[in-house]
Structure 1
Amino acid sequence: MKFDARQAEAFLRQPDQAVRAVLLYGDDHGLVRERGTSLTRLVAGQIDDPFRVIELAAEQAADLPNEMAGLSLTGGRRVIRIREAADIFAAPLQAGLERQGEALVILEAGTLTPRSKLRVLAEKMASAASIACYPDEGRSLSQTIQDSLARDRVSIEADALKWLCDHLGADRALTRREIDKLALYVGQDETATIEAAQACIGDLAGLSLEDALYASVIGDVSGAERALSLALAEGTTSIAVIRMALQHMQRLRKLRAVMQENGTSAAEAVRQAKPPVFFKRVPAFTKGLTLWRDEMLAAICDMLWQAEKACKQSGAPDEIICRQAVMNIALRARQAAARGV
């Protein structure tokens, strides 16, 4: 089943026992994690109960049907949590849903296209739920901010709320963390002013690993560095950064080939891209496509391969290697932009 925002909130407050699998996916990785953790705690009582909570990695996908049929030794419903879920879990999940079982499978994923096997399965099966997790914006973000402050008995002035809505929202976990910091700064039974908000909260809109990569390919060196620092601080590994960067550059390379074959513009190539580029990323992706020539892409992909290889060596300063790789992309893009390429 595909849940809209209202249905999702209701389900996450009180899960339907008939639903045996929940797919949480989307651009807001913090919201995906938050909902996965909250749902695990709600069903199993705590997130690390060894008898009621198990985590499966991609290489354990074949074990999923048997785990779904298993019972808890201590009673209560079991939770099978799958982080970084991908289409490799689609077939095992379907097999598990076709058998008897009481366990709840929680699958956490990033952006999935409408054609994703996992997403299609979760949306069509009556015993599964598909919940999209996108960055808070507009009224949704405003409500998140006000609710978070209210829990700490803090009110907020209208202009401060508007300012926060303009500077937060890319990641639910980061938003909550910043709002908690503001509440502590202001104090209980006080009112948050715009001066207080500006004093203790930075501009975190859009900061994530994906933002670091989009910033780097258009030559935004400071934006890339800032977003990358946040991604690493949040626990993203250096190898994950490099691999995602390589995927990003390979996609640019693929669309460059489409432009040459069909004689299309960068904008047209992006419009025809499959899977589609998320609409909020289209301007940056299009600009990156115009800046990066084939020989530049080939060189940078080779550099990223070498960087990943270097990170895997024992004792290697992997974070330094990772930062250098992303900054290399950003600097080359800035040079290309300066040349008017």
Structure 2
Amino acid sequence: MKLEGARIAPFLRNPGAVRGVLLYGEDEGLRRERAEALVAAVAGGRDDPFRVSVVPREAASADPGRLAGEMAAISMMGGRRAVWLRDATNALAAAIETALAVPGDSLLVVEAGALRPAERLRVLFERRQDAAAIACWPETGADLRASIAARLTELDVTVEPDALAWLADHLGADRGVTRQEIEKLALSVGPGGRVDIAACEAVVGDHAGLGLEAAMFAATAGDPARADRALRAAMAEGANPVAVIRTALRHMQRLSLALAEELNRLSPKEAARRARPAVFFRHEQDFARALARWTAPRVAAVSGRLLAAEAACKTTGAPDALIAARAVLEIAHAAASMRA
């Protein structure tokens, strides 16, 4: 069966009589977090050698009967066992199916990367009533902002709205990395502290996100060469094409708001301070150049094209990296042709 949305959290706390769970998707940190939760729910923790057996992919591949043997084993100290297979591939589907057929109550937790709907592992877990498949994709939008805010609250730290938006733009590709950066940020401001954009810029180590932001400031300022360099650097650091498009959309939204509030009449420093989200000082001059070049109708037209580009990036088989890069560079060339 396939588990989605609100059904996931209670299932992770109590998987019931299910014999196997497939955790698949691009977010390795989220996969690992959910796997750990399932193992703890069944075995009471991750470190009990009598109730938890971690099987690397290489071991399972070398010995096709290894998984079935682990599923048949009985804990010397009693209690339900968890068998944890990491980095699984479709080549292990037959061994996994055999393991799920072993009598008993052991739970098989399988981690895998991104899988298409027709791939063997997904089909196996989604069609069985005694198994579950859970997708683990990077959080985005409102879900990501809510997760960041909740974690900061747990750490006794508040966050300004602009800073929360900044964090959502620069984190989220991997749940584990996101949590590490949030904890580092909370430590820097201390218990009872408040996170602002300056603290985010100073602490959060998201070079890909920072590169995307630099690319967009250069693009809207009309500097195609610099925008291209920053974009290439960001994508080399791991920025995915959809994140590129969404960063561009947020940047154009900020520019639209600034134009509506006539921030182009102010000094670069004051315009940067009053922008929402505020503009970090190193981008003040680029932001001022963008305000002098762009008009509200032009920003709206570009935003519409970016929405279309995002939809195109999500089409199976589309050259998403090329689509995203072209969208940013078209903005840069358009800005370069505008009169300041």
TM-score by length of 2: 0.61
Query: What secondary structure does 1:67 align onto?
Result: helix
Query: What secondary structure does 1:84 align onto?
Result: strand
**Residue 120 and residue 204 in structure 1: after superposition, are their counterparts in 2 closer, same or farther (change >3 A)?**
farther
Please name the residue that 1:188 is paired with. Answer: 191
Deviation, structure 1 residue 199: 1.5
Please name the residue that 1:2 is paired with. Answer: 2
Deviation, structure 1 residue 100: 1.5
- Consecutive unaligned residues of structure 1, counting only runs of 5 or more, are 208-217, 229-276, 289-341
- Which residue identity is paired with 2:13? R
Retained in 1: the 8 A contact 2:209–2:234? no
Superposed CA deviations along residues 102-122 of structure 1, whole A, max 9, x for unmatched, are: 111010000011111111010
Retained in 2: the 8 A contact 1:169–1:206? no
1:1-150 to structure 2, matched below 5 A, reads 1-16=1-16, 18-56=17-55, 57=57, 58-150=61-153
Superposed CA deviations along residues 210-241 of structure 1, whole A, max 9, x for unmatched, are: xxxxxxxx99763465449xxxxxxxxxxxxx
Query: Following the alignment from structure 1 to structure 2, what is the Cα–Cα distance between the partners of residues 90 and 45?
Result: 27
Query: Following the alignment from structure 1 to structure 2, what is the Cα–Cα distance between the partners of residues 221 and 123?
Result: 38
1:193-232 to structure 2, matched below 5 A, reads 193-203=196-206, 222-223=233-234, 226-227=237-238
Query: What secondary structure does 2:64 align onto?
Result: helix
Please name the residue that 1:164 is paired with. Answer: 167
Give the CA RMSD over aligned residues.
Answer: 2.8
- Which residue identity is paired with 1:40? V
- Consecutive unaligned residues of structure 2, counting only runs of 5 or more, are 211-227, 240-312, 325-340
Superposed CA deviations along residues 7-54 of structure 1, whole A, max 9, x for unmatched, are: 1122112222x1110100001111111211222223222223221111
Deviation, structure 1 residue 286: 4.9
**Residue 4 and residue 129 in structure 1: after superposition, are their counterparts in 2 closer, same or farther (change >3 A)?**
same
Retained in 2: the 8 A contact 1:168–1:205? no
**Which stretch shows the higher mean deviation, 7-16 or 179-188?**
7-16
Query: Following the alignment from structure 1 to structure 2, what is the Cα–Cα distance between the partners of residues 224 and 163?
Result: 18
Retained in 1: the 8 A contact 2:171–2:178? yes
Query: Following the alignment from structure 1 to structure 2, what is the Cα–Cα distance between the partners of residues 46 and 24?
Result: 18
- Which residue identity is paired with 1:80? V
Query: Following the alignment from structure 1 to structure 2, what is the Cα–Cα distance between the partners of residues 20 and 189?
Result: 44
Query: What secondary structure does 2:88 align onto?
Result: coil
Deviation, structure 1 residue 67: 2.0
Please name the residue that 2:304 is paired with. Answer: none
Retained in 1: the 8 A contact 2:152–2:186? yes
Deviation, structure 1 residue 97: 2.7
Query: What secondary structure does 2:123 align onto?
Result: helix
Retained in 1: the 8 A contact 2:4–2:134? yes
**Which stretch shows the higher mean deviation, 47-56 or 177-186?**
47-56
Query: Following the alignment from structure 1 to structure 2, what is the Cα–Cα distance between the partners of residues 281 and 191?
Result: 43
**Residue 206 and residue 123 in structure 1: after superposition, are their counterparts in 2 closer, same or farther (change >3 A)?**
farther
**Residue 281 and residue 145 in structure 1: after superposition, are their counterparts in 2 closer, same or farther (change >3 A)?**
farther
Retained in 1: the 8 A contact 2:80–2:105? yes
Query: What secondary structure does 1:54 align onto?
Result: strand
**Residue 106 and residue 204 in structure 1: after superposition, are their counterparts in 2 closer, same or farther (change >3 A)?**
farther
Query: Following the alignment from structure 2 to structure 1, what is the Cα–Cα distance between the partners of residues 319 and 25?
Result: 19
**Residue 223 and residue 194 in structure 1: after superposition, are their counterparts in 2 closer, same or farther (change >3 A)?**
closer
Query: Following the alignment from structure 2 to structure 1, what is the Cα–Cα distance between the partners of residues 54 and 146?
Result: 32
**Which stretch shows the higher mean deviation, 115-124 or 42-51?**
42-51
Please name the residue that 1:152 is paired with. Answer: 155
Query: What secondary structure does 2:132 align onto?
Result: strand
Query: What secondary structure does 2:74 align onto?
Result: coil
Query: Following the alignment from structure 1 to structure 2, what is the Cα–Cα distance between the partners of residues 85 and 55?
Result: 12
1:267-282 to structure 2, matched below 5 A, reads 279=315, 282=318
Identical counterparts, % of pairs? 43
TM-score by length of 1: 0.61
- Which residue identity is paired with 1:144? S
Query: Following the alignment from structure 2 to structure 1, what is the Cα–Cα distance between the partners of residues 202 and 318?
Result: 33
Query: Following the alignment from structure 2 to structure 1, what is the Cα–Cα distance between the partners of residues 11 and 208?
Result: 28
